[in-house]
Amino acid sequence: MSEKQDYYQVLGVSRQADASELKRAYRKLALELHPDRNPGDKESETRFKEASEAYQVLSDPEKRSLYDRYGHDGPRGGGFGGGFSNVGDIFSAFSDIFGDLFGGGFGGGPSRGTGRGADIETQVELTLAEVGTGAKKEVNVQRRAACQDCGGSGAAPGTLREACPQCRGRGQVVHAQGFLMISTTCPACRGEGSLARRPCHSCNGSGLRVVEESLQISVPAGVEDGSTLRLAGRGEEAPGSARPGNLYVHIRVVEDSRFERDGADLHTEVAISFPQAALGTTVKSQSLDGEVDVVLAPGTQPGATVVLRGKGLPHLQERGRGDLIVHLKLVVPASLSPEQEAALRAFAAAGGEKVEAPSERRGIFGRRRKN
């Protein structure tokens, strides 16, 4: 038997290579030497096995430490065995890498304890005033969490799960179809890699139960309607030690009839009379903080706006606030008292304007209208 080559030389890396360098080097070699790309080439298959053995040892901190100290005998002496007997074992052992390289055809199944739990969604409503200050909201969610009786194992209390004998705990089984190796989910354990011979009665062996939880969430000031907050790890749990999913909270801002929102700016309308517009005055306007004064200059025109700086909404994740834009609407009274009418006629006359009384107005054909 020829002497084994140094594992670092096999992968073409230095002895100081970190985990990411090792993975990149192995991926490159696996792509080059893969049996499906080199059908019938025994030398490529041998190098493929050598590279896989080298990566298996060097990617494991404990095995690598033993190898660095004692050479090839180190991992074997530590009870870790050595090498792969066939390429099927390689595909199963490194299914994540081959799933990435070949689009999932060589593994990547949902072994128990890998992957991530499902995401869940909910919605909260905020008033515009709450958007202005930020708010703490309570949401009730239902999600699947680890069964308390079995600790999430799915096995009856007092018992343990056992490695699946069909896939040897990998969650995947490999089938040869000519030169093509296909990895599929193990039918015996459904990809979990282990079996509960005596299932937990509380969760029927799934390891999960539906629970209802009340969560307090903080909504930042200035949030937009339709935006979404992500609470990492507050979604559903998954069997084994898999990471929980996320909770997505969709924000709905209830319309406020007093304002129209434009980002951090707010628009509102204030009715004013002719004397107020002509002479100038101070009127009141609504704002998120209560009533504020709006100063009108003499001769203010209908449709004019007054901008109140910093009276709008906070900028999300920025300093400062938007503005409150007050739109001035001139309101003409539908009826006048005799005193008001006389005063207006005197005003018109003083300006040289002639305003006919209703009885003096003519019809469209030039005839006076009858009273």
CB distance 74 to 58 below 8 Å: no
Alpha-carbon gap, residue 254 to 126, rounded angstroms: 6
Q: 239: Cβ–Cβ under 8 A, 6 or more apart, which residues?
A: 112, 113, 152, 154, 192, 206, 207, 208
CB distance 270 to 258 below 8 Å: no
pLDDT the model gives residue 82: 57
pLDDT digit string (tens) for 207-216?
889 999 999 9
Question: Considering only 44-48, 50-54, 168-172, which range has the smallest mean pLDDT?
Answer: 168-172
Amino acid found at 77: G
β-sheet bridge partners, residue 297: none
DSSP 3-state of 273: coil
Q: Which CATH superfamily includes the segment(s) 260-330?
A: Urease metallochaperone UreE, N-terminal domain (2.60.260.20)
CB distance 26 to 55 below 8 Å: yes
pLDDT the model gives residue 257: 95
Alpha-carbon gap, residue 317 to 4, rounded angstroms: 59
The per-residue b/e assignment along 182-217, b for 16 or more CB within 10 angstroms, e otherwise, is: ebebbeebebbbbbbeebbebbebbbbbeeeeeeeb
Q: How many CA atoms lie within 13 A of 208 on its CB side?
A: 20
pLDDT the model gives residue 277: 95
DSSP 3-state of 290: strand
Q: Where are the domains of the chain?
A: 7-84, 120-253, 260-330, 335-371
pLDDT the model gives residue 356: 77
Q: Is 159 exposed, middle or buried (0-12, 13-18, 19+ CB in 10 A)?
A: middle
Name the fold adopted by 120-253: Chaperone, DNAj Protein; Chain A (2.10.230)
Dig out the tokens for 191 from the structure.
Answer: 């990809």
- Under DSSP, the state recorded for 207 is S
CB distance 86 to 176 below 8 Å: no
Residue with tokens 């009276």: 311
High-pLDDT (> 90) share of the chain, %: 46
Region 157-162: what's the mean pLDDT? 87
Q: What is the mean pLDDT of the chain?
A: 84
CATH number of 7-84: 1.10.287.110
Q: Which ranges of the chain does DSSP label H, i.e. alpha helix?
A: 7-11, 19-33, 42-58, 61-70, 73-77, 87-93, 95-101, 128-133, 274-279, 338-350
CB distance 186 to 166 below 8 Å: yes
Alpha-carbon gap, residue 127 to 261, rounded angstroms: 12
Give the number of other Cβ atoms within 10 Å of residue 116's Cβ. Answer: 16
Q: Which helix (H) or strand (E) holds 312?
A: none
pLDDT digit string (tens) for 70-127?
888 877 655 555 566 566 567 656 655 654 454 433 333 344 555 678 899 999 999 9
- Under DSSP, the state recorded for 26 is H
DSSP 3-state of 74: helix
pLDDT the model gives residue 80: 52
pLDDT of 245 higher than 80: yes
Alpha-carbon gap, residue 22 to 11, rounded angstroms: 7
pLDDT digit string (tens) for 265-287?
999 999 999 999 999 999 999 99
Dig out the tokens for 286 from the structure.
Answer: 């609504």
The pTM of the whole model exceeds 0.75: no
- Under DSSP, the state recorded for 359 is G
